[in-house]
């Protein structure tokens, strides 16, 4: 499956906008991604190993945090994951 | 440096006037090369912070993904974001900084006073991670469109 990488994190994946991985679940896909590109890990996960609060991971158009099985959700090659940091602020 | 055409520059400022007294927000699509973010299109986004839209903004991740997908189909990347500060200076706030995570991207802020766009500034989010990130003042180059002559 394909994992789409946002602009700021492409420097850690050889400047690719997407990375192809073999995986059966969302968690396996993310694990494969950070195994292929270890420098990416600290930008996605806290020291406690949890996905950083501002990092959103979407399976197709669904927020993985709100899927019943979360990272254990099964995936196929036709699915795609998007990593998308949040954007917010205000005066 | 942030480069954008005059129509795009005017459009993002007008967006802030239209949503006044609430904050507007949007995504800048373009190309990033040699420390220059060149904007090819400004995509309006909805402000999901309806609870405090006068001084907060948030773009739904689903909308970001959709815009990112549209950009990819056109060979464009997300190179920045814009929002307005109603009755507040065009200067980044503590909230803007805390919520900024797109390193290398331009954050454009337009001050809107009494419904009229005033100063527009851009700030480049520099650094390599959340611990060393900072906002740097960034020059904005507004380019007039050159029309062909018969």
Give percent of chain A above pLDDT 90: 97
Task: Find out whether B28 and B15 touch, Cβ atoms under 8 Å.
Answer: no
CA distance A79 to chain B (A): 14
State the DSSP H helix or E strand holding residue A17, giving kind and residue range, or none if neither.
none
Return d(Cα A20, Cα A33) in angstroms, integer. 8
Residue A28 lies in a domain: yes
- pLDDT at position B149 is 53
Range of the domain at A13: 2-85
Of A8, A86, A88, the CB nearest to B103: A8
**pLDDT value of position B144:** 86
Q: Whole-angstrom Cα distance, residue A65 to residue A72?
A: 11
> Domain spans of chain B?
2-143
A15 contact B CB<8A: no
Mutation target for A interface from B52, B64, B119: give the one with most A CBs within 10 A: B64
Q: CB-based contact (8 Å) between A39 and chain B? A: no
User: Inter-chain contact A84–B56, Cβ cutoff 8 Å?
Assistant: no
Are the Cβ atoms of B56 and A89 closer than 8 angstroms? yes
Is residue A35 pLDDT above 80, yes or no? yes
Q: Are A79 and A61 in contact (CB under 8 A)?
A: no
- Flag if A88 and B102 touch (Cβ within 8 Å): no
Give the distance from residue B96's alpha carbon to the nearest chain A alpha carbon, in angstroms.
Answer: 4
pTM of the model: 0.94
Per run of 10 residues, the mean pLDDT along chain B (length 150 residues) is: 98 98 98 95 96 94 95 96 98 97 97 98 96 97 73
Nearest-by-CA chain A residue for B77: A7
CATH of domain B2-143: 3.40.140.10
Q: What is the pLDDT of residue A89?
A: 95
Q: Supply the pLDDT for residue B146.
A: 62
Q: What is the ipTM of this complex?
A: 0.92
Q: Where are the beta strands (DSSP E) in A1-44?
A: 2-4, 18-20
For A30, the token pair is 């993310």
Look at B101 and A86 and tell me if their CB atoms are within 8 Å: yes
Looking at the partner chain, which of B32, B56, B130 has a beta carbon nearest the beta carbon of A90? B56
Distance CA A86, CA B4 (A): 24
pLDDT tens string A51-74: 999 999 999 999 999 999 999 999
Q: Could you tell me if residue A90 is inside a domain?
A: no
- Count chain A–chain B contacts defined by CB atoms under 8 A: 93
- Count of structural domains within chain A: 1
Give a yes or no: residue A23 inside a domain.
yes
User: Tokens in use for B67?
Assistant: 């815009």
What pLDDT sits at residue B148?
55
- B-proximal residues of A, 63-82, CB under 8 Å: 63, 82
Residue A91 domain flag: no
CATH of the domain at A51: 3.10.20.30
């Amino acid at each position: 499956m394909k994992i789409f990488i946002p602009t700021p994190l492409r420097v850690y994946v050889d400047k690719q906008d997407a990375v192809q991985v073999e995986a059966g679940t969302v968690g396996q896909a993310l694990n494969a991604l950070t195994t292929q590109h270890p420098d990416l890990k600290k930008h996605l996960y806290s020291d406690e190993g949890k996905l950083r609060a501002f990092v959103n991971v979407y399976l197709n158009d669904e927020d993985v945090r709100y899927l019943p099985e979360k990272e254990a959700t099964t995936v196929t090659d036709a699915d795609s994951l998007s990593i998308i940091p949040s954007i917010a602020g205000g005066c | 440096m942030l480069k954008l055409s005059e129509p795009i520059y005017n459009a993002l400022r007008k967006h802030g006037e239209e949503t006044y007294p609430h904050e507007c927000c949007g995504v800048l699509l373009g190309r990033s090369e040699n420390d220059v973010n060149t904007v090819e299109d400004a995509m309006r986004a909805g402000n999901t912070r309806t609870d405090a839209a006068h001084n907060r903004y948030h773009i739904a991740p689903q909308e970001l993904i959709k815009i990112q997908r549209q950009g990819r189909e056109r060979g464009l990347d997300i190179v920045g974001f814009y929002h307005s500060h109603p009755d507040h200076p065009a200067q980044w706030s503590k909230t803007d900084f805390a919520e900024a995570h797109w390193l290398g991207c331009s954050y454009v802020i337009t001050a809107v006073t009494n419904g009229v766009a005033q100063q527009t500034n851009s700030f480049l989010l520099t650094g390599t991670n959340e611990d060393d990130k900072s906002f740097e003042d960034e020059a904005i180059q507004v380019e007039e469109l050159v029309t062909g002559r018969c």
